[in-house]
Amino acid sequence: MAEEVRINTHHVTAGDDDGRATEWEAGLPNADDLPPLSQFLISPELASAFNITPEPHRSMTDVTRASHKTLSTLIKHPKHHMLEKLNDFMSSSDERGEEMVVEGDHTDETVDLILEGSDSRKLRRVCSGGGGGGGGGGEEADSGLRDRGSKRIRLVWTPQLHKRFVEVVRHLGVKNAVPKTIMQLMNVEGLTRENVASHLQKYRIYLKRMSGLSILTPVPDPVPMAYAPQMVRMPYAPPGMVPNSAAGGAGGGVRGYCHGFGYHSHPYNMMMQPKDWSGNGFGSVSSYQKRMTANDK
DNA sequence: CACCTAATAT
DNA sequence: TATATTAGGT
């Protein structure tokens, strides 16, 4: 309780003293009703159980600074001119910041477009009930989202975006999930078929991995050998392949092994999603493996 | 043409 | 490392 919280009365100096938007404060709880900034909202046990790292302690100064920043941003780009900023950065980002993030928000309705340089705008996309289009048909137009030189911008698959991807893939079923359809169903502006294809390729590789792996307990702790039958199946042991040191080269050793998807990006697997979307049951993980060999389209 | 996989480029 | 692009095939 070291810090005194006085949000109500604190003023913002962006511009002048009355840059403060008092209407924003209407209905907000009084400072006395709020817990002090220094106090965590969840218990340490809970935090550790869910692998949450507590934010560093914030002082009133930090709050003030953040507040200033927000306000000055809003003053600079008032109203609905936010979208125009998108074009701004697209044309101003030559050669350098050519990374873009498309990240879905909590709802299915909006996605955030973020640039590598931490620029971020909101675009609106509606998953409206209309289009559906099981058969295909070409609706939804264009928007490849390019750099000034008409070069494509690198897409970053944020967890939100990936989640949308996975939902669509599951909804379609793995067999019918092809880039074009996925792209259409995801309904994210700027997303291209190539984006999806590339991601899908990686996703399939990931699934293959998972299907080879034993899904049941990757042996959490060293249990006595005698009692540990064969819980860990070898993923893929193509005849005549030595586990490690094959290509060697890049990256090296153990870590190059679990590249990309399952492990790296988040402690929680990016590729994994809760087993449910609609009634589309495909529980069995190793069902599609035969597809490659034969022909079913 | 859309799709697939593998390899390679950025 | 993650994503894009290309090659070569169905």
Higher local confidence (pLDDT), A147 or A163: A163
Region of A217 on the Ramachandran plot (φ > 0 left; ψ -120 to 50 alpha; else beta): left
Statement: the CB of A261 is under 7 Å from strand C: yes
CA pair distance A221, A231, nearest whole angstrom:
12
CA pair distance A152, A90, nearest whole angstrom:
11
The answer to which of A36-40, A42-46, A137-141 has the lowest mean pLDDT is A137-141
The model's pLDDT over A63-82, given as tens digits with 9 standing for 90+, comes to 445 545 544 443 334 333 33
Residue A110: per-residue pLDDT: 55
Please report, to the nearest 10 degrees, the dihedral formed by the alpha carbons of residues A71, A73, A75, A80 taken in order.
-120
Distances (CA, A) of A207 to A200, A212, A214, A266: 10, 9, 12, 17
- Interface residues for strand B (CB within 7 Å) are A 177-181, 193, 197, 200-201, 204-205, 292
The model's pLDDT over A247-260, given as tens digits with 9 standing for 90+, comes to 333 333 334 334 45
Give me the CA A197–C1' B3 separation in Å, rounded.
9
Q: Has this prediction a pTM greater than 0.75?
A: no
Give me chain A's average pLDDT, please: 52
Residue A153: per-residue pLDDT: 84
A92 DSSP assignment:
H
Per-state percent for chain A, helix, strand, coil, to nearest 5: 35, 10, 60
The rounded percent of chain A whose pLDDT value lies above 70 is 22
Residue A154 has pLDDT above 70, yes or no: yes
Residue A152: per-residue pLDDT: 72
Residue A294 has pLDDT above 80, yes or no: no
Region of A157 on the Ramachandran plot (φ > 0 left; ψ -120 to 50 alpha; else beta): beta
Q: Of the segments A6-10, A75-79, A141-145, A155-159, which one has the largest average pLDDT value? A: A155-159
Question: What is the rounded average pLDDT of the residues A114-138?
Answer: 37
Any idea which nucleotide's C1' is nearest the CA of A256? C1
Residue A216: per-residue pLDDT: 55
Higher local confidence (pLDDT), A3 or A54: A54
CA pair distance A263, A210, nearest whole angstrom:
11
The model's pLDDT over A192-246, given as tens digits with 9 standing for 90+, comes to 999 999 999 999 999 998 887 765 545 444 333 333 233 233 333 333 333 333 3
Residue A169 has pLDDT above 70, yes or no: yes
Residue A89 has pLDDT above 70, yes or no: no
Nearest to A207 by CA among A156, A170, A254: A170
The answer to which of A7-16, A41-50, A119-128 has the lowest mean pLDDT is A7-16
Distances (CA, A) of A76 to A62, A69, A272: 21, 11, 40
- Classify strands A120-124 and A154-157 as parallel, antiparallel or unpaired: unpaired
Question: What is the rounded average pLDDT of the residues A154-168?
Answer: 95
In sequence order, which ranges of chain A are alpha helices (DSSP H)? Answer: 22-25, 44-49, 60-76, 82-92, 159-172, 179-186, 193-212
Chain B nucleotides covered by protein, CB below 7 Å: 2-7
Residue A151: per-residue pLDDT: 73
Phi/psi for A293 (5° steps) reads -75, -50
Region of A56 on the Ramachandran plot (φ > 0 left; ψ -120 to 50 alpha; else beta): beta
- Residue whose Cα is closest to the C1' of B5: A201
Any idea which nucleotide's C1' is nearest the CA of A204? B5
A261 pLDDT band, cuts 50/70/90, is low
Statement: the CB of A264 is under 7 Å from strand C: yes
Residue A206: per-residue pLDDT: 93
